C-alpha cells in the first residue's frame, strides 16, 4: 500500500470500497495500530498517533468475525474495555446498560456469545464499540456474515445509530450497496491505492478511472471500445440504465437474455460486434430485437491508462454502428 491519503471529517462516515485483497483491511489495521506503517503518518482527532499502541489511540473496531470473547458473557464483553480503563463499577454498569439498550440487546447481557444468533452477535460487537465513546470507529466488513434481509435492516440501523451519536467512522467493505448507502464520503481502493474519493453519488455519476467505472454500479457499466465515438478515447462506459431503446435507434440488436429484477428488466443485447446490457422498465413488452441508441452525453470516456477524459472532442450527434463500420 502506498500513497494513500484519506481524511475522515468529524462525525462523518467514510467507506473504503474495494475488491478483496486490495489492502482495505490493512488500511484499517494501520489506523487501529495493529500493524505499523513503514512510512507516513496517522492522526486521529488532530493528534499524531502513528507510533502509539492500539490502546492509546482511542479507537474502537468492529471485526468481520465480531471477535467476541467466547468465554465472557455479553456484559463482560462490552464492559472489558471500560474495566481495563479502571472506570468505577457503577459507571461501567451504567454505560454497558445504555449501549445495550441502544442496540436492543439488554436482555442478552447474561448470555455467552455462542448462545446468540449472528445478528445478535453483530449487535453485541457494535455495543462493545460504542460503549467506549471513542474518537473514531473502525468497521471491517461488519455486515458480511449476515443474511441478506438482516444486512439490509442492519445497514439502515447502523447509519441511524452513527448519525445519532455523531460518530466518525471508517468503514471497509467490498459491498458497493453498503458503501453507497452508508457513506458521506466514499473511497474506492485497488491494489493498495486509492482510485477515487468523493460523495457516493459523485463517484457514481463521474467515475474518474476505468476501474471505478466498472466496479461501482450494479448491474455493471457497459465497457465498450473507444472507437464507437470519435475523439480518441480508449474505452467508453455507459451504464445499463443509460442505454436508450427507441424505435428510431440506429443500431439493431438481438435480445439474448431477459433477467427480471422486479421493477426493472435487464436485457442482454448482442449485435454488430457488440454486447450490451440495458436496464428497462418491467412493463416493456418482450421483443426479439431492439433498436438501440448510444448517447455520448451519457457516456464516460477513458484513456488507455484508465483515466477519465472529461471533454473529448465528440460531435453531438449520436454515432451509429454503421458509421463505425464505415471506417
Partner 1 sequence: MSYGYVALAAVLLICVIALPLAVALVGGATHYGEVFSDRELGKVAFNTAAFAFASVSLEMCLGLLFAIVLHQTFLLRGIVRAIALIPWALPTAVMAMSWKWIFNDSYGVANDLAIRLSLVGHGIAWLGRPGAAFAAIVLADVWKTTPFVTIILLAGLQSIPRDLYDAMSIDGAGPLQRFRLVTLPLLRPSIALALTFRLIQAIGIFDLVRVMTGGGPADSTKTVALYIYDVLISYGMPEYGAALTGVVALATFLVAATFGALARGRARA
Segment contacting partner 1 by CB under 8 A, of 37-45, 51-59, 95-103, 247-255: 51-59
Segment contacting partner 1 by CB under 8 A, of 28-36, 225-233, 249-257, 277-285: 28-36
Rounded CA-CA distance 310/201 in Å is: 17
Beta carbon nearer to partner 1, 82 or 253: 82
DSSP-assigned beta bridge partners for residue 266: 259, 279
Residues touching partner 1: how many (CB under 8 A)? 24
- Closest contact distance (angstroms) between CB of 49 and partner 1 is 12
Indicate whether 261 belongs to the interface with partner 1 (CB under 8 A). Answer: no
Rounded CA-CA distance 289/135 in Å is: 57
Segment contacting partner 1 by CB under 8 A, of 12-20, 59-67, 91-99, 262-270: 59-67
Beta carbon nearer to partner 1, 37 or 231: 37
Indicate whether 244 belongs to the interface with partner 1 (CB under 8 A). Answer: no
DSSP annotation of 305 reads: T
Rounded CA-CA distance 97/326 in Å is: 73
Alpha helices in 5-53 (DSSP H): 24-32
- By CB under 8 A, name the one of 19, 45, 51, 65 that touches partner 1: 65
CB atoms within 10 A of CB 2: 11
**Cell (9 digits) for 3:** 500513497
- Closest contact distance (angstroms) between CB of 71 and partner 1 is 4
Indicate whether 87 belongs to the interface with partner 1 (CB under 8 A). Answer: no
Rounded CA-CA distance 12/274 in Å is: 42
Indicate whether 59 belongs to the interface with partner 1 (CB under 8 A). Answer: yes
CA 9, chain centre distance (Å) = 18
Beta carbon nearer to partner 1, 67 or 280: 67
Indicate whether 80 belongs to the interface with partner 1 (CB under 8 A). Answer: yes
Segment contacting partner 1 by CB under 8 A, of 53-61, 91-99, 163-171, 189-197: 53-61
Indicate whether 49 belongs to the interface with partner 1 (CB under 8 A). Answer: no
Rounded CA-CA distance 281/197 in Å is: 31
**Cell (9 digits) for 221:** 457499466
- By CB under 8 A, name the one of 16, 32, 124, 228 that touches partner 1: 32
Indicate whether 71 belongs to the interface with partner 1 (CB under 8 A). Answer: yes
Indicate whether 186 belongs to the interface with partner 1 (CB under 8 A). Answer: no
Segment contacting partner 1 by CB under 8 A, of 31-39, 40-48, 173-181, 318-326: 31-39
Query: Dihedrals φ, ψ of 149, to 5°?
Result: -65, -45
Site string for partner 1, 132-161 (x = CB under 8 A): x-----------------------------
Grid-cell match 474495494, residue found: 18
Beta carbon nearer to partner 1, 18 or 33: 33
CA 260, chain centre distance (Å) = 24
99-105 own/partner pairs: CB under 8 Å, 24+ apart? 99/127, 99/128, 99/130, 99/131, 100/74, 100/75, 100/127, 102/127, 102/130, 102/161, 103/127, 103/130, 103/161, 105/74
Q: Which residues bind partner 1 (CB under 8 A)?
A: 29, 32-34, 53-55, 57, 59-61, 63, 65, 67, 69-71, 80-81, 84-85, 112, 128, 132
Amino acid at each position: 500500500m502506498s500513497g494513500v491519503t484519506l481524511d475522515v471529517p468529524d462525525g462523518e462516515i467514510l467507506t473504503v470500497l474495494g475488491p478483496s485483497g486490495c489492502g482495505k483491511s490493512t488500511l484499517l489495521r494501520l489506523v487501529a495500530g495493529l500493524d505499523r506503517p513503514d512510512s507516513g503518518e496517522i492522526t486521529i482527532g488532530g493528534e499524531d498517533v502513528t507510533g502509539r499502541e492500539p490502546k492509546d489511540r482511542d479507537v474502537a473496531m468492529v471485526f468481520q468475525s465480531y471477535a467476541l470473547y467466547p468465554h465472557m458473557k455479553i456484559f463482560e464483553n462490552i464492559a472489558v474495555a471500560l474495566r481495563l480503563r479502571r472506570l468505577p463499577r457503577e459507571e461501567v454498569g451504567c454505560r454497558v446498560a445504555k449501549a445495550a439498550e441502544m442496540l436492543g440487546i439488554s436482555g442478552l447481557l447474561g448470555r455467552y456469545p455462542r448462545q446468540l444468533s449472528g445478528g445478535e452477535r453483530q449487535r453485541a460487537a457494535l455495543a462493545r464499540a460504542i460503549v467506549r465513546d471513542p474518537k473514531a470507529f473502525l468497521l471491517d466488513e461488519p455486515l458480511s456474515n449476515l443474511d441478506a434481509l438482516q444486512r439490509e435492516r442492519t445497514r439502515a440501523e447502523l447509519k441511524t445509530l452513527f448519525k445519532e451519536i455523531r460518530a466518525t467512522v471508517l468503514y471497509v467493505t467490498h459491498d458497493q450497496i453498503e458503501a453507497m448507502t452508508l457513506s458521506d464520503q466514499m473511497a474506492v481502493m485497488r491494489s493498495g491505492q486509492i482510485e477515487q474519493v468523493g460523495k457516493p453519488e459523485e463517484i457514481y455519476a463521474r467515475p474518474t478511472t476505468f476501474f471505478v467505472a466498472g466496479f461501482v454500479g450494479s448491474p455493471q457499466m457497459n465497457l465498450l471500445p473507444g472507437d464507437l465515438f470519435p475523439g480518441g478515447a480508449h474505452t467508453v462506459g455507459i451504464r445499463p440504465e443509460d442505454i436508450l431503446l427507441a424505435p428510431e435507434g440506429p443500431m439493431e440488436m438481438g435480445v439474448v437474455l431477459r433477467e427480471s429484477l422486479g421493477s426493472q428488466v435487464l436485457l442482454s443485447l448482442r449485435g454488430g460486434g457488440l454486447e450490451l446490457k440495458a436496464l428497462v422498465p418491467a412493463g416493456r413488452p418482450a421483443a426479439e430485437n431492439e433498436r438501440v441508441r448510444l448517447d455520448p452525453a451519457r457516456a464516460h470516456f477513458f484513456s488507455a491508462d484508465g483515466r477519465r477524459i472529461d471533454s473529448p472532442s465528440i460531435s453531438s450527434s449520436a454515432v451509429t454502428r454503421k458509421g463505425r463500420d464505415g471506417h
